[in-house]
Amino acid sequence: MGTKMRTEIHKQLVRRLAGGLAVGAVALGCALAAPAMAQDDRMTPIAIPAQPDAIVLGTGALPGATVQESWHTQYGSLFARNVTVATLTPFLPDPAKASGAAVIVAPGGGFRTLSMNNEGWDVAKALAGKGVAAFVLKYRLQQTPRDLDEFARPGPPPNLSAGLAPQIADARAAFALVRSRAKAWKVDPERIGMAGFSAGAMLTMATTLQGQDAKPAFIANIYGPLAPVKVPADAPPLFIALAADDPLFGNSGFGLVDSWRAAKRPVEFHLYEQGGHGFGMYRKTTTSTGWFDDFARWLGMHGYLKGDVQ
């Protein structure tokens, strides 16, 4: 595919997928909180937690960044903000369970924050428990106000007019790193997939369609935009989980599913009656809580789990 065509497809992808995210940063933040309304919704600043296993990806500092990384708690989870340097944190399985498959995990947060527990570390731990090596991608984010109170006030929606170049570069670097250390981490370089949540799902789709050498073996779009896209002939198997009452993407059609099916590529779509947006690994009384078990069974169906782990 030529450079001009890749650029045009990238523009179309960002324009279509960004539509759902352009509801406004505050609405997105509220929606991300929906599964945990009983928990404390206050944003409380905290010191950046120790991340001894995090590996700097080498994609450089976010161009033009003037505000440095900070963290806060909300809804019983940890959130990173103003990430300017991308990292990848490995969560490796017990060697006795390891299947050789791996997943790059991309948390969501509207490209303004990253939900590090609910859509990152907790997901990675669950995958490792199934014998799948997992790697949490802390990708670079758009700049937001340094002051947390100012950040919490209503503001403009994420500005995606410039595309997702830094984030796609971070994802590509993540795939390259895992492949370069595949032997040490006991990972099959041909069996590395990607799973993203909300904005992280948007990054997963962009990486799949525009990530050039990333080439994920399989992908999961967890409550991300489902706009139709041009599907390449070698598109990987796609798993989708969404709640019908998702305030962002529950009523905007399922064009992505139709696109994958029209291209005769494997796709599995779970539409849960309830769950809202951002349910992630939160334990809810809705059937959306079962998305991870459904995902694990799908991975097993495609041969990414060891037989005795399924």
Report pLDDT digits (tens) over 8-55: 545 555 555 555 444 433 334 434 434 444 457 899 999 999 999 999
The domain defined by 3-301 carries CATH number 3.40.50.1820: yes
The pLDDT score that the predictor gives to residue 24 is 34
Convert the pLDDT of each residue in 182-191 to its tens digit.
999 999 999 9
In the prediction, which pLDDT does 15 show? 57
pLDDT at 16: 54
Question: Around Cβ 12, how many Cβ atoms within 10 Å?
Answer: 15
d(CA 214, CA 217): 9
Which residue ranges in the chain fall short of pLDDT 70? 1-39, 161, 307-310
With a CB cutoff of 8 Å and minimum separation 6, the contacts of 308 are: none
Do residues 177 and 189 touch, judged by C-beta distance below 8 A?
no
Domain locations in the chain as residue ranges: 3-301
Torsion of CA 132, 89, 267, 161, to 10 degrees: 180
Token reading at 66: 């003037």
The predicted structure's pLDDT at residue 19: 52
The pLDDT value given to residue 100: 98
For the record, the structure tokens of 128 come out as 């490792």
Separation in Å, CA 173 to CA 40, 57, 176, 248, 279: 35, 6, 5, 29, 28
Q: Given this model, what pLDDT does residue 132 score?
A: 98
Count Cβ atoms below 10 Å from residue 253 Cβ, excluding itself.
Answer: 11
